[in-house]
Structure 1
Amino acid sequence: MNEKKLTNVCFYIFSFSILIFSLFSLGSCSSRPEVKLNDGVVEDSLKKITGVTTKDLEAALEKDSLSLDDLFVLAVERTERIALKDEATNQAMAGKDKAFAGFLPTLSYVYNKFYSIPGHTTEPSLVENYRTYQSVQNGDYLSLVPSSTTSSLPPTVGAGSRLLLSFPLTGGLTAYQDYKANKSLTDQRRMEAKFEAGRMYLELAQGYFNVLQLEESLKYATEALELNTESVKERRRLYSLGRIMRSELLNAETGLANAQAILEDTRFQLEQVQTTLAMMVGFDTKIKLANIANPLEKIQIGKVDEYLPKRYDVISTQKGIEVAKANENKAWFGFSPNIAVNTYYSFPMEGQTRNKDVTAQLAVTMPLTPLGQMADLKNAESATKQAKLNASQTRRAALQEIQNATQSLENSERMCIIYEKAYQYAKDTLASQESGYRMGRTSWVDVISTRLATLNSEITFKKTNYQRLLNRVALGVAIGEIPRIPEEKSEFKIEPN
Structure 2
Amino acid sequence: MKLKPACKPFVLLLCLLTLSACVAGSNPDYGSKVAQEQAKIAQWSDLDGAQSITIIGDLIQSDELDSLVEKGLAANPGLAQTLLTLKIRQAEYRQTQGARLPEMSAGFSALNEEDQEGVYTGTATVSWELDLWRKVADSSKAASKDVAEQQMLYQSARDTLAAEIMTGWLKLTSAKKNIAIEQERIDVLEKTENYTRQRYRSGLGTLEDLDSARSAVASARATLEEYKETLAQQQRALATLLGNPGADISMAEEYTHVIVPLADLPQQTLQRRPDLKAAFLAIESAGLNADVAYKDLLPSISLEASLEDIASTPGSALFTSSVWSLLGQLTAPLFQGGQLKAQARIADLETAQAFETYRETLYTAVQEIEDAMGLERSLGKQQTHIEIALAAAADTLVQYQKSYRQGLSDMLDLLTVQTQTFDLTIQLNTLKYERLANRITLGLALGIGAK
Coarse TM-score class (shorter-chain normalised): 0.7 to 0.9
> Which letter maps to 2:289?
N
Separation in 1 of the partners of 2:197 and 2:203?
A: 10
- Relative to the length of structure 2, the TM-score reads 0.75
**Map of 1:295 onto structure 2:** 257
1:367 to 328, 333, 336: 333
Are 2:291 and 1:325 aligned? no
Cα deviation, residue 339, structure 1: 0.9
**Map of 1:376 onto structure 2:** 343
**Map of 2:158 onto structure 1:** 197
- Mapping of residues 327-366 of structure 1, within 5 Å: 327-350=289-312, 357-366=323-332
Separation in 1 of the partners of 2:440 and 2:158?
A: 13
Cα deviation, residue 250, structure 1: 2.7
**Map of 2:42 onto structure 1:** none
Specify whether residues 93 and 238 from structure 1 end up closer, same or farther in structure 2 by C-alpha distance, changes over 3 A only: same
- Asked if 2 retains the 8 angstrom alpha-carbon contact of 1:177 and 1:330, the reply is yes
**Map of 1:258 onto structure 2:** 219
**Map of 1:183 onto structure 2:** 144
> Which letter maps to 2:438?
N
- Asked if 2 retains the 8 angstrom alpha-carbon contact of 1:103 and 1:172, the reply is no
**Map of 1:268 onto structure 2:** 229
Deviations 1:196-250 (A, max 9, x none): 1222233323422222111111112222112212111211222333333443333
**Map of 1:470 onto structure 2:** 437
**Map of 1:130 onto structure 2:** none
- Asked if 2 retains the 8 angstrom alpha-carbon contact of 1:321 and 1:384, the reply is yes
- Asked if 2 retains the 8 angstrom alpha-carbon contact of 1:305 and 1:399, the reply is no
- Asked if 2 retains the 8 angstrom alpha-carbon contact of 1:178 and 1:327, the reply is yes
Are 2:95 and 1:98 aligned? yes
Cα deviation, residue 268, structure 1: 1.6
**Map of 2:71 onto structure 1:** 74
Cα deviation, residue 430, structure 1: 5.6
For CA contacts below 8 A with separation 6 or more, give which structure has more relative contact order: 2
- Relative to the length of structure 1, the TM-score reads 0.68
- The DSSP-based 3-state class of the residue aligned with 2:104 is strand
Specify whether residues 291 and 323 from structure 1 end up closer, same or farther in structure 2 by C-alpha distance, changes over 3 A only: farther
Deviations 1:108-139 (A, max 9, x none): 11346799xxxxxxxxxxxxxxxxx9xx99xx
Specify whether residues 165 and 404 from structure 1 end up closer, same or farther in structure 2 by C-alpha distance, changes over 3 A only: same
- Asked if 2 retains the 8 angstrom alpha-carbon contact of 1:202 and 1:477, the reply is yes
1:418 to 360, 370, 385: 385
Cα deviation, residue 478, structure 1: 1.1
- Asked if 2 retains the 8 angstrom alpha-carbon contact of 1:340 and 1:363, the reply is yes
1:312 to 268, 274, 295: 274
- The DSSP-based 3-state class of the residue aligned with 2:328 is strand
**Map of 1:218 onto structure 2:** 179
- The DSSP-based 3-state class of the residue aligned with 1:289 is coil
Higher-Rg structure is 1
Separation in 2 of the partners of 1:220 and 1:339?
A: 79
Specify whether residues 220 and 390 from structure 1 end up closer, same or farther in structure 2 by C-alpha distance, changes over 3 A only: same
- The DSSP-based 3-state class of the residue aligned with 1:298 is coil
Separation in 1 of the partners of 2:134 and 2:424?
A: 71
Separation in 2 of the partners of 1:376 and 1:341?
A: 27
Cα deviation, residue 325, structure 1: 0.8
- Asked if 1 retains the 8 angstrom alpha-carbon contact of 2:390 and 2:424, the reply is yes
- Asked if 2 retains the 8 angstrom alpha-carbon contact of 1:341 and 1:362, the reply is yes
1:207 to 168, 173, 178: 168
**Map of 1:22 onto structure 2:** none
Deviations 1:271-314 (A, max 9, x none): 12212211221221442123567533223446656532221111
Separation in 1 of the partners of 2:430 and 2:272?
A: 31
CA RMSD of aligned residues (A): 3.7
Separation in 1 of the partners of 2:354 and 2:440?
A: 30
- Asked if 1 retains the 8 angstrom alpha-carbon contact of 2:56 and 2:444, the reply is no
> Which letter maps to 1:77?
A
Separation in 2 of the partners of 1:52 and 1:113?
A: 68
Separation in 2 of the partners of 1:348 and 1:415?
A: 92
Are 2:209 and 1:248 aligned? yes
Cα deviation, residue 466, structure 1: 0.8
- Asked if 2 retains the 8 angstrom alpha-carbon contact of 1:338 and 1:365, the reply is yes
Specify whether residues 216 and 278 from structure 1 end up closer, same or farther in structure 2 by C-alpha distance, changes over 3 A only: same
Specify whether residues 428 and 300 from structure 1 end up closer, same or farther in structure 2 by C-alpha distance, changes over 3 A only: farther
1:402 to 369, 392, 415: 369
Separation in 1 of the partners of 2:321 and 2:394?
A: 108
- Mapping of residues 234-245 of structure 1, within 5 Å: 234-245=195-206
How many residue pairs end up in the alignment?
387
